[in-house]
Amino acid sequence: MVRPIAMLAGLGFVGILLYSLIMGAVSFISEPPAKTVEHEFHLHPKEVHFASDGPLGKFDRQQLQRGFQVYKEVCAACHSLHQVAFRDFKDLGFSEAEVKAIAKGWATETPSVNPETGEPATRKSTPADKIPSPYANEVAARAANNNALPPDLSLMAKARHDGGAYIYSLLTGYTDQKGFKNHAGQELLKEFPDAKTPDSLHFNPYFANLNIAMPPPLAADGQVTYADGTVATKDQMAKDVAAFLIWSAEPKLEARHQTGVAVIIFLLIATTLAWFSYRNIWAGIKH
């Protein structure tokens, strides 16, 4: 008696699911969802190549140093890098003395405690310290940025789809909303007249909701002066800092690539040896 009731209950449940599926499909076809401005005008990241791309990719140390310079002189005023310590900059090709000088001369000092009074204090950073935040806390960060909270950039290249390409596209994607068209040739303000960007925000089609609180950080060519003589165009600076943030998100990327190649070679050799062993063991046996 219990089994037939359970079967009927299961059939009833399946029937309800099928009914819901069919009705949902009919509703979607007859009344398709309204198009949104984000769906129609949000652009996919631009195509850009980095030396670290691909299974055999390696970091370009000179580019990483240039990207660090852009971060230090432009981005560090608002964005933290909590997961990176000063000593990690040795991986960029800096010497130990240079790392100590970078830490000591950092614009924001490291939070500390006065050993005599126990009161909060600050001190010069050392190579063992993490990169200090430019703000004392979230309240101070929001107060300085019109209530917007600048995100930490340590893992930004891993936290966003297309990583470095997204960062590069965002930095170079600021444009005038008036007259902006998507890939289909539709003009934004003609299709969505009420989608005008508020005065406190900035239009960027590579940002999720098209309007971002951060003003264009790379405002003009030559904003930084590269030590290696590279011409600091906006495009070059954006690509360099994107490469630096790819490194900050995955500093062991080269080691992972090398390990992957070694594992593949090992598996190929092991497979070959296993095949010859199989042939040798079963060589005298006829099928």
Statement: residue 111 has pLDDT above 90 = no
Tell me the whole-structure pTM to 2 decimals.
0.84
Residue 60, CA distances (Å) to 164, 230, 253 in order: 14, 14, 12
Query: Which residue range(s) make up the domain with 79?
Result: 38-84+131-255
Number of structural domains the chain divides into: 1
**pLDDT recorded at residue 1:** 66
* CA proximity to 212, closest of 150, 270, 158, 274: 150
214 annotated ligand binder: yes
Q: Is 284 within the bounds of a domain? A: no
Q: Is 116 within the bounds of a domain? A: no
* Rounded mean pLDDT, 251-276: 94
Q: Is 53 within the bounds of a domain? A: yes
Q: Is 272 within the bounds of a domain? A: no
Q: Is 168 within the bounds of a domain? A: yes
Confidence of residue 40 (pLDDT cuts 50, 70, 90): confident
Q: Is 279 within the bounds of a domain? A: no
Statement: residue 35 has pLDDT above 90 = no
Statement: residue 135 has pLDDT above 70 = yes
Q: Is 135 within the bounds of a domain? A: yes
Looking at residue 140, which CATH number applies to its domain? 1.10.760.10
Confidence of residue 193 (pLDDT cuts 50, 70, 90): confident
78 annotated ligand binder: yes
Using DSSP's 3-state secondary structure scheme, residue 121 falls into strand
Statement: residue 70 has pLDDT above 80 = yes
Q: Which one of 3-12, 120-129, 240-249 scores highest in mean pLDDT?
A: 240-249
Q: Is 237 within the bounds of a domain? A: yes
